[in-house]
Amino acid sequence: MLQMLAFISRPVTRRRLVLGVAGVVAASIAPAAAAETIALSVDASKAGAKIDRNVFGQFAEHLGHGVYEGVWVGPDSPIPNTRGIRDDVVGALKALKVPNVRWPGGCFADEYHWRKGVGPQRAVSLNPNWGGVTEPNSFGTHEFMDFLDQIGAEAYVSVNVGSGTPQEAAEWLEYLTAAQPTTLAKERAANGHPAPYRIAYLGIGNESWDCGGNMTPEYYLSQLKAYSRFVRNFNPAQQQDPNRMLKIAVGPGGDGPRWTEWTDTVMKAWQGRSWSWDFDGLSMHNYTVVKWPPSYKSTGFGEAEYAQILKSTLEMDRLVATHSAIMDKYDPQKKIALVVDEWGAWYAPLPGSNPGFLVQQNSLRDAILAALNLNVFARHADRVRMANIAQMVNVLQAMILTDREKMVLTPTYHVFKMYVPFQDATFVPVSLDAGTYTHGDVTLPRLDAIAARDAAGKLWLALTNLDPNRSVAVEASLAGLTPRAAAGETLTAPRVDSVNSFDAPSVVAPKAIAAKIQGATLALTIEPKSVTVVSVEQ
Ligand code: AHR
């Protein structure tokens, strides 16, 4: 997936992000027409699978300003920080209840040597994948674990299979998790953390079919078996379910026979596994890009690009279904999770930015794209039990953009926040026929909806109106509960390419929406090009 990127090292022009929007040519979207009424039905008594909170996971790679500047500014920075980690970013992420963070990559992970990132003297190395810049290693193991502590997330550590060894990865895990006084555990204590760390998820390689070493599935399997066997978690609190560290194998990276063959080969081997190796999740990467290299602009686009990108993102459903069906052949009990640990929009780099830093803006289109993908994951909740959007701060479809001391929350951030109630809620099926939205030769469903019940029994509905021109009046019949009151918020903006910038941070921000309960019916009007989340009390 990365073959198309020729990374040139040159200084990043971060200012473009601040100014980018003002100069954009207006995308002409027709004014909203009168709403027509759509019937939707929800039966709250029909419980589906749990929507695992881990599908709202994040990904932080050592790439551009994803970690350095985005998360880590160092303890001496004038930017308010706690032990070097930005307070504003931590505060924003806490509100998302981030379940897990995947780190240190990405492609970076297969060239990462953990020893360079521990102790008082940090080796300065290079980051050849991403702009060829120097890697100070000042954000290493302890800083990552401190960051997780500050935001309240679990660790998803990707170990180096491409250029590392099982021994190196095994020693990292011993350093992280051993409680007994081994030399490595004592070194961890000397470096400030006597107690063993909790490592919830272990990624065994990243894109081993490409940037992670261009392996065949058979070759990867031999690596996987060795890493699965030898890279142990020694934390006494993690020796049994449900606290056991879950191991995630490299899975497919796109559409087509190469990827179905990969999934088939790895899952078939898993079915015939022996006592000495195992894994718990199969990773899948799928970016919304339309075609490589990424050429769609992240700002200053019109309805044609809006419709095309949404069409492309909806392919996620078919990919998940295809790979789930292969997994079902070998794992009908769905023991292995499909882990979509890289997803999101990948656009052309912002003009003037370092192309190796993957800097892009984030618009209302991305908010809608995020909601559509989260809905796909919810519908496949029995198999998709973890996902990680790429990436958390300043890289690709980010939650947060920073520029020195400034920070702005993106439209995608707001969707993740609005969807917090869906974390660990029980999926409830929704049926609707809202017809279609057509632009040029692209035809899409007009409305997308999911529902779920939280632990307190409250019903939550998420409704996305893909049509940028027509609002939808929804009458939702609610069976299986006695609705009493409803409240919600909606995220929209004047244009499909509206963005939040450092100068205008609230162009795309949620606002309250009126929702009425009439008997067993919920009535509300959904604005064009919007994401709405409503709760129903009973
Ligand atoms: O997220 C950027 C890159 O995309 C990751 O490093 C790699 O795994 C993928 O190709």
**Tens of pLDDT along 90-126?**
999 999 999 999 999 999 999 999 999 999 999 999 9
CA-to-CA distance for 459 and 19, rounded, in angstroms? Answer: 41
What are residue 494's phi and psi, to 5 degrees? Answer: -60, -35
User: pTM, whole model, 2 decimals?
Assistant: 0.93
Q: How far is the CA of 532 from the centre of ligand 1 (A)?
A: 30
Q: Give the C-alpha separation, 366 to 344, whole Å.
A: 8
Is residue 22's pLDDT more than 80?
no
Q: How far is the CA of 67 from the centre of ligand 1 (A)?
A: 15
Spacing, Cα 377 to ligand 1 middle (Å): 20
In this prediction, residue 36 carries a pLDDT of 80
Active site residues: 207, 342
Average pLDDT over the chain, rounded to an integer: 93
Span from the CA of 282 to the centroid of ligand 1 (angstroms): 16
Indicate the top mutation candidate among 342, 358, 391 to test ligand 1's pocket, ranked by most ligand atoms within 8 A of CB.
342
Instruction: Point out the ligand 1 atom lying closest to the alpha carbon of residue 210.
Output: 10
Residue nearest to atom 9 of ligand 1 (CA): 106
Task: Please state the φ and ψ torsions of residue 106, each to the nearest 5 degrees.
Answer: 70, 175
Mutate to test the pocket of ligand 1, among 102, 161, 206 (most ligand atoms within 8 A of CB): 206
- pLDDT tens, residue by residue, 453-490: 999 999 999 999 999 999 999 999 999 999 999 999 99
For residue 427, what pLDDT is reported? Answer: 98
Mean pLDDT of 518-537: 96
Q: Ligand 1, closest atom to CA 108?
A: 6
141-151 vs 166-177: helix crossing angle, rounded to 10: 50
Protein residues with CB under 6 Å of any ligand 1 atom:
1-2, 61, 105-107, 206-207, 211, 342, 390-391, 396
Q: At what angle do helices 217-230 and 166-177 cross, to 10 degrees?
A: 30
Distance CA 359, CA 362 (A): 10
Spatial distance between the Cα atoms of 400 and 17, rounded to a whole number of angstroms: 12
Q: Tokens representing 350?
A: 């912002």
Separation between Cα atoms, residue 121 and residue 48, nearest integer Å? 51
pLDDT at 350: 98
The structure tokens listed for 262 are 């990969």
| Rounded alpha-carbon distances, angstroms, from residue 229 to 143, 278, 424 | 27, 8, 31
Dist CA 102 CA 447 (whole Å): 32
Q: Which atom of ligand 1 is nearest to the CA of 59?
A: 1
Residue pLDDT, tens place only, 368-424: 999 999 999 999 999 999 999 999 999 999 999 999 999 999 999 999 999 999 999
Q: Distance from the CA of 284 to the center of ligand 1, in angstroms?
A: 12
Write out pLDDT tens, residues 25-81: 333 334 445 568 999 999 999 989 999 999 999 999 999 999 999 999 999 999 999
Q: What is the pLDDT of residue 33?
A: 52
Residue 256 pLDDT level (bands cut at 50, 70, 90): very high
For residue 498, give the 3-state DSSP assignment.
Answer: coil
